[in-house]
Structure 1
């Protein structure tokens, strides 16, 4: 059941009270320019750590202060919201800002004036921007409009994770909250054990899905129409252009920031479905995906910064819904904090398990057998 804090407001009069806040999502790709300005002003190495400090330090604090927003749009307002180009252009605008930040940081790296601490901060800064860009790619890649699907691959190119476009839509959404899904983490599985399983598993799954699409039609997968290959070509073209512009020294920087970027995506995957499982029906199939199979958070600030990714249950139930129309459900299990906080917690396995394992068990009434459990722990 969805929750609506404004049930007394007539649908025709309903307005999105967060509409002025959505442009804040564009603050993230602007942060490297702030770091650059502070660094040029003599701020030292710490200037390049401003972006991760704001994203994983300041935003969680503001999240706690502002609390939750469980406002849902009435069904009658959804067509109007979906058709409003204002929301769509905000996702488009992330991309030029993302690429501008990447070029700026490549230029700084190529000057070879960085200390080890500055270099690490620069990698972390760009990795965070391109990692969060994968969320923008996620929003665009689910849409029917061809231009948005194409822009999704453009947003994925800096992180070298173009195969996500195939695997997420046709793999993860089909197998979510099952042992067969490499992007659904298991009860008792640490993020560090999950990382290689999901990175390799998602890559292999994307290739199988896309090559299978061609072979079932009797065609070769080695074509520009292959969405895994053309996405990878975008990355290779981008990296080649930046290497030509800034020299071979740019290449290790691009690789390092890409690892940070796609690791940020995978830690989000880790927390979105941790331990949650779809049960088998009498026919032996998995039950339909519903709000019980995703962890959610209604924290106001992180929902604005992440285009409401934290309303993940409605997204899985209705993948084509645009971010401004996603709803909160009573039946969805709730994270104790927003994603920015939970990402940091997930990197510390004992803290994560202390915070989350009992919540998984409570969700299943204490019955561990109903959860998606790590095989070793199940044995």
Structure 2
């Protein structure tokens, strides 16, 4: 049987543990230099894009016969299981450092911000496992994974909301053209929370239960987060509680940045019957950068993931005619925090994707008129674009 050429390279997913280990070592090796608190965030937003540029991309696709074998190979699932505990370790070590070591406040804040961004990967692991059948070990491990940063509602809204509404104006987790990542966060973070809680309450109601029950998948995850926070407060004191909260919120923002770059401005068109076209690979921004794909267990092959949500990470394919990011997700996330530069690079790419008709993009309503005036509404042949999609409510299809 032919094997995935990255079979053992996926073990590089243990990078968060190595990163926090290097940070602790550097702190003590330098006699407590607070500048070492910058290591995680520098590695993420400077080091990773540079390594991506040096190593390059892999545009190959997994052959169908190999993909079937990879789906059946438990090796890949156990790798994900093994990566989950490191996020508890990195979180606990970071809180211990700010609670027990004599670092200046700015160093505490920078360290927690960097580790929180790293631990956004815990949600990525939960994302991978949360697409598997409920009541399986994968589902249990998904809950444990997102319990490390208080994002227990994630895979409820992600599976039943985002995957149904992706790349439409109705989706809180699909960014619009002209919308900054900060504006997007104000939609995505509360929208995912409200959507997840609402959908779980509806599920429990159909089964004859109230929201406050041990059967509630969200409450199970939140219980893990609360117990862990209580243990850390009992150990290190109440002074660490704000840093715990900061860690969790910035972990959520880490995911929000990923959501932002994954679907920025892409729009599924409505058919004459008012229904949206099915999600296709062209409705997600893809990246084939080798290093960051290994770091993020192929999250960046997002196009195939949305076209085939049940496909496991090593079997995700590349496609020729899909929108591509010029960087891996971490490089894109870094640039998204500088909106003028992000718009300068990505808006022309989005117009090209829309074949010159900017009204075919998912436009941010407050900037709609400005974007149409700036980029026009003519297709490749120079003809006036077709009428804009109607405002009829979409038919979203069955939830997972």
Instruction: Provide TM-score, normalisation by structure 2.
Output: 0.88
- Looking at structure 1, the residues matched to 222 and 93 of structure 2 have their Cα atoms a distance apart, in angstroms, of 23
- Looking at structure 1, the residues matched to 86 and 208 of structure 2 have their Cα atoms a distance apart, in angstroms, of 41
Q: Deviations over 1:224-266 (max 9, x none)?
A: 1122222222211221122122221221111111122111100
Matched, 1:104 2:112: no
1:362 aligns with 352
Partner of residue 323 from structure 2, selected from 306, 310, 333: 333
2:290 aligns with 300
User: Are the equivalent residues in 1 in contact too, given 2:71–2:315 (CA < 8 A)?
Assistant: yes
Matched, 1:266 2:256: yes
User: Are the equivalent residues in 2 in contact too, given 1:45–1:121 (CA < 8 A)?
Assistant: no
State the number of aligned residues: 367
Matched, 1:316 2:306: yes
Give the C-alpha shift of residue 351 in structure 1.
0.3
2:13 aligns with 25
- Looking at structure 2, the residues matched to 345 and 100 of structure 1 have their Cα atoms a distance apart, in angstroms, of 29
Could you tell which deviates more after superposition, 346-355 or 232-241? 232-241
- Looking at structure 1, the residues matched to 209 and 149 of structure 2 have their Cα atoms a distance apart, in angstroms, of 29
Partner of residue 169 from structure 2, selected from 168, 173, 179: 179
Could you tell which deviates more after superposition, 57-66 or 175-184? 57-66
User: Are the equivalent residues in 2 in contact too, given 1:164–1:202 (CA < 8 A)?
Assistant: yes
SS at match of 2:84: helix
User: Are the equivalent residues in 1 in contact too, given 2:16–2:90 (CA < 8 A)?
Assistant: no
Q: What are the equivalent positions in structure 2 for 1:237-248 lying under 5 Å apart? A: 237-248=227-238
Q: What are the equivalent positions in structure 2 for 1:54-133 lying under 5 Å apart? A: 54-133=43-122
User: Are the equivalent residues in 2 in contact too, given 1:132–1:306 (CA < 8 A)?
Assistant: yes
Could you tell which deviates more after superposition, 96-105 or 259-268? 96-105
- Looking at structure 1, the residues matched to 297 and 337 of structure 2 have their Cα atoms a distance apart, in angstroms, of 23
Q: Deviations over 1:321-356 (max 9, x none)?
A: 110000011122101111111011000000000010
1:215 aligns with 205
**Superposed structure 1 runs of 4+ greater than 6 Å apart:** none
2:195 aligns with 205
- Looking at structure 2, the residues matched to 202 and 98 of structure 1 have their Cα atoms a distance apart, in angstroms, of 22
- Looking at structure 2, the residues matched to 43 and 24 of structure 1 have their Cα atoms a distance apart, in angstroms, of 28
Give the C-alpha shift of residue 221 in structure 1.
2.3
Instruction: Provide TM-score, normalisation by structure 1.
Output: 0.93
Give the C-alpha shift of residue 358 in structure 1.
0.8
User: Are the equivalent residues in 2 in contact too, given 1:296–1:311 (CA < 8 A)?
Assistant: yes
Give the C-alpha shift of residue 40 in structure 1.
1.0
User: Are the equivalent residues in 2 in contact too, given 1:32–1:125 (CA < 8 A)?
Assistant: no
1:46 aligns with 35
Give the C-alpha shift of residue 110 in structure 1.
1.7
Could you tell which deviates more after superposition, 244-253 or 159-168? 244-253
Partner of residue 273 from structure 2, selected from 256, 277, 283: 283
- Looking at structure 2, the residues matched to 130 and 368 of structure 1 have their Cα atoms a distance apart, in angstroms, of 36
Give the C-alpha shift of residue 43 in structure 1.
5.4
- Aligned-residue CA RMSD (Å): 1.4
User: Are the equivalent residues in 1 in contact too, given 2:58–2:290 (CA < 8 A)?
Assistant: yes
Give the C-alpha shift of residue 282 in structure 1.
2.1
- Looking at structure 1, the residues matched to 291 and 365 of structure 2 have their Cα atoms a distance apart, in angstroms, of 36
